[in-house]
Chain A
Amino acid sequence: MEKKLPTIEVIEKYCKGCHICVEFCPTKVLEMQGFVVGVKNLEACIKCMQCELRCPDFAIKVTA
């Protein structure tokens, strides 16, 4: 069975580009795309939610 991928939503108007989510994602799912965050490798996401928990700006939401 194909594994169900999470949805990662970045609210670009809230993201301040601090890099916290990118740096501490254990599987390097995220990257900076200009001043805001983008998803580089969704398949690698282990849904640990750390990016969402640590984002100071309410800018990233992971739905498992």
Chain B
Amino acid sequence: MAFEYEKWLRPGKLPHIWCPGCGHGIVMKGLIRALDTLQLKKEETAIVSGIGCASRLPGYMDCCTLHTAHGRAAAFATGVKMARPEMNVILCGGDGDGTAIGGNHFIHACRRNIDMTYIIMNNMIYGMTGGQFSPCTPTGAKASTTPYGNPDPGFDIAKLAIGAGASFVARGTAFHANQIDKLIVEAIQHKGFSVVEILDDCPTTYGRRNKYKSVIEMMNRLKDIAVPVKAAEKMDPEQLKGKVLTGVLYKEDKPEYCEQYKAVIERAQGAAR
């Protein structure tokens, strides 16, 4: 049966603004399938974003949504979650939003292990503003601000999240579309801060400058570089050169922030009495 995406979309909003072949639409569809699998209630689901092409996502979604300031999704989302811990809070945005201007909010949300899910769409560039390099642009790649090749090494978002304390970290790609919803389902079910990085593509500002002749070449790149974690166990470092691991990369049970904070309130109230 064709899946009914419409039930989670605000009426009259399609076609969306994303360029032909932009992976963000594929990610949004994965998110919708995940929400449907979990049968979440719209009034108990909040999707919070920063600024960027990826951050336009909540504008299409028919549930509680917040489109906030650049890099600040985690701060606003933390406010929502602290005030209404029963809400399912989902953050989304791009690599620029989350790891450049929002890098600080990102690492501290990880550190606190607050029970929210963060979907980060990594197209390795600032798409919306015309293709400036981001902290995820690979070394040597061209951006409008690195016309002779980027001298910086890129962040590994998953490693950054694990290092900062996130208790669930997964990675998928826009090419492997049928895995996206499964990763998001697991991330939402996990209690704690869950990061789902989806590698996608910006044909308009990244592909064009970096000799990808078409969206198809960019999709083929995602197809070629992805190695499922299980498969990687049987591969040697030479075979894994230039590849990225996909699937659930890290999972740990540890104290969650809202519960820790509630305990503080109870202690403080006890002390006052």
Give the B-binding residues of A (Cβ under 8 A). Answer: 9, 13-14, 16-20, 23-24, 49-50, 52-58, 61-64
Contacts and interface: CB of A to CB of B under 8 A. Distances in A.
Interface in B199-218: 214-216
Interface in B20-49: 20-26, 29
A49 B32 CA distance: 16
A29 B15 CA distance: 24
A56 B18 contact: yes
B145 interface: no
Contacts of A16: 15, 19-21
B24 A63 contact: no
A42 to B, nearest CB: 15
A57 B16 contact: yes
A5 B73 CA distance: 46
Interface SS of B by simple majority: loop
A13 B23 contact: no
B260 interface: no
Most buried by B among A9, A14, A16, A20: A20
Nearest to B175: A54
Contacts of B5: 58
A54 B21 contact: no
Given A62-B2, A64-B1, A56 B214 contact: no
Nearest to A8: B2
Nearest to A22: B216
A18 B23 CA distance: 11
